[in-house]
Amino acid sequence: MVEQLITEIFTQSDVRSALSQLRKVLKDAPEKKALCAEEEFLSRLFDLLSHEDGKTRKNTALLLGDLADTMPDHMKAKAPKFLWGGFRQETTKFVQSSYIQSMAAFSCDEYIHEIRTCYNTLLETEVNPEDVKHTRELRKALEQILASREQEQSLTFRGLKKKHPILLEAEPYIRELLCERLSKEYKTEAKVTASGVRVVTDSLEGILKTPLYRELLFVVRQKTGCVITEANMAEGIVSSELLPLLEEVFDAKGPFTFRLSFFNEKGAWDGKKLKQLAFSIEEQSKHRLCNSTDHYVVEIQLRRKKDNTYGVFAHIPQATQGLFSYCVKRLPTSMSPVLAAQMVALVHPYLKEGAHIIDPFCGVGTLLIERTRAVGARDIYGVDTYGEAIAIARDQTGRAGMEFYYINRDYFDFTTSHLLEEVITEFPRMEHKDREEVDDFYHKFFEKTMEVTSEQAVLILLSTEESCMKKQLRLHKEFALIRQIPMRGRENIFIIKRRG
């Protein structure tokens, strides 16, 4: 099929349909792009950018972008010149954006100045009503290139200069502790709310040192008397403190790229409605706010209140960029760094400085890293049967500036020359196992832990199997449950002490 379409594009004068069909085939079978990477065929496509038919030029430009990742280097280097040249000569409005969309797939550094000039001219030009759609498409294509090559490099989060209200979204079980730490240790004005902890601060230092929250959101205050409804959303956002906030934290005038998120208990808005709102925000801000779903410095979150008005929040990824920097790769079963930090914070009074510790089901090592960051330990062992997890754990631990002993082995085969003083772990999920198998696994765990731990050793165990855990504690009188701390869903932390 691909070969036939290529032949038609070479031999026929009316090639619009063949180009369109080829793009569809390659979308479903991208491995066939290699068939289109011959220099002769690519040269034919460069020639077709001057074809008399507008839709042919459009399909050709878009096809070149599709083929960018399989082109020979010397042809890839030529493509931007032909695309930019075609764009500069193009007078048909609906075709113009296709050249720029494809240029985004290539290195456009040589044309960045001209692209920026073209973009600025477009913003200053009055648009006829019938051309609004195509002008917007062109502007978005230009913004995509500028955002990916300029915005990320030039805008750097510089911190706060004055006090701002911030919402730290956090689970119910950690909110009181998070609030207490921020208030007492960092003297931050904080209070528990229905969705987390609200703080008012001019410094993120304490917040970044207490990473027990899912997300850090700046509460965007409205101008006096303004209430945001569906009818005035764009106006309300543009007139709010959002732009002054971005100017402050980036120490720049913009433009600032954004994406929109809509939170509504009745369901999210459809894409068309969000897109229209994004356009309105761009136009009312005079393009100081530019919509970009791929490259953005702020996510504008809209949340509906009970009275059908809306709150506006700003999520700025760079504000928390340094958190958990050691975590570069996760597996589907990996414990998240936030959950690990929360678990460690909840059990902090039971952690012993300089202890010999082990995580029998360590995965990628996140819990051991967070535990050791909180309270120093001596010899630290991580055991897991999954080799890839152990490899990631070693890498992450090195990135965190720590050194643990990781062993690719079943815990039940683990041996040690000295007894351990602490066991901390998250048990594997066993919801799909039958009860007898789960009981047997937990029984073996306590039997093995008796072998490798010292008297007075502490066990800190996160598990969803409450009844099974308590059954084994009844059977193993050598262990006593000191405290049980509920977490999310059926998860509980069991703090257990080995009897002397």
Q: Residue 134 corresponds to which tokens in the numbers above?
A: 């195509």
Q: What CATH architecture is 2-154? A: Alpha Horseshoe (1.25)
Cβ atoms 301, 263 nearer than 8 A: yes
Q: Residue 16 corresponds to which tokens in the numbers above?
A: 């619009």
3-state class of 306 per DSSP? Answer: coil
Element (H, E) at 163: none
Residue 336 DSSP class: P
- The CATH superfamily label for domain 337-498 reads Vaccinia Virus protein VP39 (3.40.50.150)
- Locate the domains of the chain by residue range: 2-154, 164-320, 337-498
Q: How far apart are CA 481 and CA 270, in angstroms?
A: 51
Give Cα separations from 448 to 426, 441, 445, 500 (angstroms): 16, 11, 5, 17
Residue-level pLDDT at 128:
83
Q: Residue 358 corresponds to which tokens in the numbers above?
A: 């082990």
Cβ atoms 460, 495 nearer than 8 A: yes
Residue-level pLDDT at 78:
92
User: Would you say how long the chain is, in residues?
Assistant: 500
Q: For the chain, what is the radius of gyration of the CA atoms? A: 29
Residue-level pLDDT at 457:
97
Q: How far apart are CA 411 and CA 157, in angstroms?
A: 44
Relative to beta strand 355-359, strand 377-384 is parallel
Cβ atoms 41, 8 nearer than 8 A: no
Residue-level pLDDT at 142:
87
Place of tokens 């969000």: 274
Q: Residue 297 corresponds to which tokens in the numbers above?
A: 């410095």
Q: How far apart are CA 54 and CA 45, in angstroms?
A: 14
Residue-level pLDDT at 111:
87
Strand partners, 143: none
Q: Residue 416 corresponds to which tokens in the numbers above?
A: 């040690």
DSSP character string of 246-296:
HHHHHTS---EEEEEEEE-TT-PPPHHHHHHHHHHHHHHTTTSEEE-SSS-
Q: What is the CATH number of domain 164-320?
A: 3.30.2130.30
Q: How far apart are CA 291 and CA 284, in angstroms?
A: 13
3-state class of 487 per DSSP? Answer: coil
Strand partners, 117: none
Element (H, E) at 421: strand 420-426
Please give, one letter per residue, the 3-state secondary structure of 12-45: CCCCHHHHHHHHHHHHHCHHHHHHHCCHHHHHHH
Edge-first strand order for the sheet with 405-408 is 405-408, 377-384, 355-359, 420-426, 453-463, 492-498, 479-486
Cβ-based neighbour number of residue 494 at 10 Å: 21
Query: What string of pLDDT tens digits covers the 500 residues of the chain?
Result: 888 898 988 888 789 899 999 999 998 888 989 889 899 999 999 999 999 999 999 999 999 999 999 999 999 999 999 999 999 999 999 999 999 999 999 988 888 888 888 888 887 788 788 888 888 889 888 888 887 665 545 789 999 999 999 999 999 999 999 999 999 999 999 999 999 999 999 999 999 999 999 999 999 999 888 889 888 999 999 999 999 999 999 999 888 989 998 876 555 566 778 888 998 998 899 889 988 877 789 999 999 888 889 999 999 999 998 899 999 888 988 999 999 999 999 999 999 999 999 999 999 999 999 999 999 999 999 999 999 999 999 999 999 999 999 999 999 999 998 899 999 999 999 988 999 999 999 999 999 999 999 999 999 999 999 999 999 999 999 999 999 999 989 999 999 999 86
CA 19 from chain center: how many Å?
36
Residue-level pLDDT at 297:
93
Q: How far apart are CA 116 and CA 146, in angstroms?
A: 7
Cβ atoms 18, 9 nearer than 8 A: yes
Q: How far apart are CA 287 and CA 127, in angstroms?
A: 15
Element (H, E) at 357: strand 355-359
Cβ atoms 482, 496 nearer than 8 A: yes
Relative to beta strand 420-426, strand 377-384 is unpaired
Residue-level pLDDT at 129:
84
Angle at 91 between CA 90 and CA 95, to 5 degrees: 65
Residue-level pLDDT at 220:
97
3-state class of 455 per DSSP? Answer: strand
Calculated CA dihedral for residues 268, 273, 275, 281, nearest 10 degrees: -100
Residue-level pLDDT at 161:
95
Helix ranges (H only) for 309-460 are 337-346, 366-374, 387-399, 435-452
Residue-level pLDDT at 175:
97
Q: How far apart are CA 424 and CA 216, in angstroms?
A: 28
Residue 149 DSSP class: I
Element (H, E) at 484: strand 479-486
